[in-house]
A and B are shown apart, each in its own frame.
Chain A
Amino acid sequence: MVKIITLLVSLYVAQVWAMEGVSQATLKNGLKIIVKTDNRAPVFISQLWYKVGASNEKRPLTGVSHMLEHMMFKGTDNYKTGEFSKIIARNGGDENAFTSNDYTAYYQKMHKSKLALALKMEADRMRHLQLSNDEFEKERQVVIEERRLRIEDNPNANVAEHLNLISFAKKSAYHSPVIGFKKDIENYKLSDLRTWYETYYAPNNATLVVVGDVDAKAVIALAQQYFGGYKANVNIGNIDDNPSITQTGQSHVLKLKAKLPFSILSFPVPSLKTASDKHSAYALDMLAFVLDNGLSKTLVRDQQIASSIGVGYGLYSKYDTLLTLSFIPAKGVSNEAVLSAIKMQVAELIKKPAMIKEELLRTKIQLEASFVFEQDHISTQSYYLGMLATVGLPIETLFSYVDKMRAVSAEDVAQVAKQYLHFSAANSVQLIPQGD
């Protein structure tokens, strides 16, 4: 169904091919390049994705990928501390970076005339980072403040952090928070960051994604010019994989100073990457949509026993993941009452899949429309392309998504609900507010 055109550009590129306006190439040193042309505005986004994130970390180095992300703005052999951001800003660019479980990514969004500059500077810091102790000590404090801001002073983020602690085995991927435990952040040494950088920041562990008003051949040529001289890290394949190990039946109660109760349940499930039957991963994704919609209708809008309900699923996780179900009970309603209403609705779905037929149809139409809407921002487009490549899924996954979801039947949804939503074995974290 997907049309693949093979193009031969030149000798330095191992392979190039294109589909749906997307071109791909791999340099001889292993750097992957993905280019999607979008001519709507004279701009581009360039993202460099590294296959490293919290899922590569263990104590006492949790959060080290994120810490290194911060240090990547601190200067190289060729640019002083802060110059990276200054030069990009002076050239009209927006830039930032983000770290997650399965990736660390850096980006610049600029006018199309600045493409060479963006690639040159991003390439420079792939290999020439200067890690200074002074800058590191200050940035460590910045990251600790970031942790306080995002997690420690936010009751619901505390709950989410605890959910991962109990849902994934210690030492396995996804157990520890992306930002790291405070104790670890306080104790890394500069040499830990240096080792992390030298190990993972190599062309054969990275993907360059450019989306915008650019010519694919020109992007590939510039990538060759700036990244082509770097050597691959030949040892990267020897690092032991550390997949997630999901647990069941764990529960935890958090008593925090807060005003609203909050609960999350988790059910271990395969991701698209790990599912032996890919169709079941799409069925799980559909289950998440149907439950999110259906529970909001019955429990929030009709019965009004919850003030919000959300259902999530990590379709694109690199390793086994979770289906999560979170809710805030309405005032005066117990967690148990909401939970039992949820269980009842799931049981009904399993028994009578036909009841979701109409909703399924509407969801499919919405997904089709959303696929168009999501192309409005070049950053969303490049996010999906880079993320898929980085977790090891073919980028065709993006373009076949709507078709795969269309193929999911009500019975398929009921089947995965039956297979995975075992409430007696679910993990749960409950926030019980203290001191009103």
Chain B
Amino acid sequence: MKILLLFLLFSTNIYAKLNIQHWTTPEGAKVLFVQTQGLPMLDISLNFNAASSKDGDQYGLATLTSSLLGTATQSRNEEQIINAFESVGAQFGGSSLKDMSIVSLRTLSRESVLRKALDVFTEVVTQPSFQQQYLSREKRQALQSIKASKQSPASVASIAFAQAVFGKHPYAHSKIGTPETIEAITISDLKRHYQQFFVAKNLTISLVGDVSRARAKQIARQLSHGLNIGKKASPNPIVKPLNQAQKIHIDFPSKQTHLLIGQVGISRSHPDYYALYLGNHIFGGSGLVSILSDEIREKKGLAYSAYSYFSKMASNGYFLLKLQTKNSQAKEAEVTALNALKNFVNKTVSPQQLQDAKDNIIGGSSLKTASNDNILIYLSIIGFYDLPLDFLSSFTDKIKDISAQDVQNAFKRLIDTDKLITLSVGGNK
């Protein structure tokens, strides 16, 4: 319970050498495959460029579409689908983010089991039947999720921050949607969203596990074969930088104030990507040993968790610093965190700080691909974001060469401490 764990997708880390095999299916889906041995299992992740940023003004559409995958196909109802997966011990999952909708399968790799699991999985993804009864139920579930997020100060803060930092950009709205937008979504909206975005050319297939390359090829082929070829979704617009500072406070009946300070961030192809990554690692991305945690937690005991990160998406995401403290200390924590950030932007890090961070990142690279599960996430990211295949192995080389001056220059170029969003959610001081 010492440190809160961060979401892996948002705080990608580093990499040992992986033998990544890759190809494109005849229908145009991109495939990345790593063969692993030692455990008789296979993980498959399908990442469609089909997420909430493609909702248009129908907020919640991508999430609802994703949640109906697995409820019915042209030949099976929901219970038959669930039973089919369960009867071979396979785990089916689906989720939708701002950039990607993910459908996944984890199964034993024994051929008799794999074949059955894969057949149902293929059917669920390629022949969904969108039915009113399931849409009505999932809408009600979505409304409950909205309520659940409204009773959590952390969720209220995250949603409000995204709205403030992304403004009119399609990243701005909550992927669950609002009660009004959810209510208006129909079966034909879901079908249209599915037909446009759940297509082969808009898909990255990642496979990790104990199967041969030949078998992996068949699997990828089977999955992409049933999909329309379609076309790649057009990229989201660039997020415009903020032109002035914003202070937002949301009253909330909580004992703590959740404080979020940030601004527009970077895309995965930003020229300063590595310098900013390393810099953030030193500032607020390395748990208790980071500068931010040291100032807020270790020196002053103001918060249990204090960290910062760059969200890394296709368009530029955000840079965000987060902490929670009792309401009466909110001001002190804000001043301390802001000073730490200003100081970091205005002063180069010490040689020791730089070396420690590099040693942590480089020395820990083997941990990041130590499980099939972790490898799968990296394959998805490499494939989905069109990163070079040697992204993992070249990462440490790129980090090695960065100087303290590079870090400071990159932060100075990006972070404008006069135009930050300062968002607080909490009770009376």
Contacts and interface: CB of A to CB of B under 8 A. Distances in A.
B326 A145 contact: yes
A73 B367 contact: no
Interface stretch (A199-207, A349-357, A369-377, A403-411): A369-377
A133 interface: no
B179 to A, nearest CB: 11
A94 to B, nearest CB: 6
For chain B, give the interface size range.
35 or more
Contacts of B287: 85, 89
Contacts of A307: 140-141, 144
A138 B89 contact: no
A259 interface: yes
Given A260-B147, A365-B86, A153 B255 contact: yes
A323 B91 CA distance: 25
A82 interface: yes
Contacts of B73: none
26 contacts: A40-B36, A40-B371, A41-B370, A41-B371, A43-B366, A43-B370, A85-B288, A90-B359, A92-B364, A138-B298, A138-B300, A141-B302, A142-B301, A145-B301, A146-B304, A154-B152, A257-B253, A260-B147, A307-B141, A331-B140, A331-B143, A365-B87, A366-B86, A369-B107, A370-B89, A376-B39
Contact of B324 (A38, A145, A330, A362): A145
Contacts of A155: 151
B144 A260 contact: yes
A69 B89 contact: no
Given A149-B324, A297-B79, A435-B253, 11 more contacts: A40-B36, A40-B39, A41-B366, A66-B1, A98-B2, A143-B304, A144-B326, A152-B255, A154-B152, A260-B147, A365-B88
Closest 7 CB pairs of A and B: A92-B363, A369-B89, A138-B301, A141-B301, A92-B364, A41-B370, A146-B304
Nearest to B294: A82
Contacts of A372: 39-41, 108
A64 to B, nearest CB: 14
B40 to A, nearest CB: 6
Residue among B38, B40, B147, B373 having the largest count of chain A Cβ atoms under 10 Å:
B147
B349 to A, nearest CB: 15
A368 interface: yes
B62 interface: no
B371 A377 contact: yes
Interface of B: 1-3, 16, 36-41, 78-79, 82-83, 86-91, 106-108, 113, 137, 140-141, 143-144, 147-148, 150-153, 253-256, 286-289, 294, 297-305, 324-326, 356, 359-367, 369-373
A86 interface: yes
A426 to B, nearest CB: 25
B294 to A, nearest CB: 8
Contact of A376 (B255, B303, B362, B371): B371
Interface of A: 38-43, 66, 69-70, 73, 81-82, 85-86, 89-94, 96-99, 109-111, 114, 137-146, 148-149, 152-155, 179, 257-260, 297, 301, 304, 307, 328, 330-331, 358, 361-363, 365-370, 372-373, 375-378, 433, 435
Contacts of A363: 86
B79 A89 contact: no
A148 B153 CA distance: 12
A42 B255 CA distance: 45
A144 B151 CA distance: 21
A259 B369 contact: no
A146 to B, nearest CB: 4
Contacts of B366: 41-43, 92, 111
A82 B88 contact: no
A369 B370 contact: no
Nearest to A377: B371
Given A86-B356, A153-B256, A307-B144, A93 B39 contact: no
B305 A92 contact: no
B268 to A, nearest CB: 24
A73 B373 contact: no
A259 B148 contact: yes
Contacts of A433: 151
B140 A153 contact: no
Contacts of B367: 41, 43, 92, 94, 109-111
A258 B3 CA distance: 27
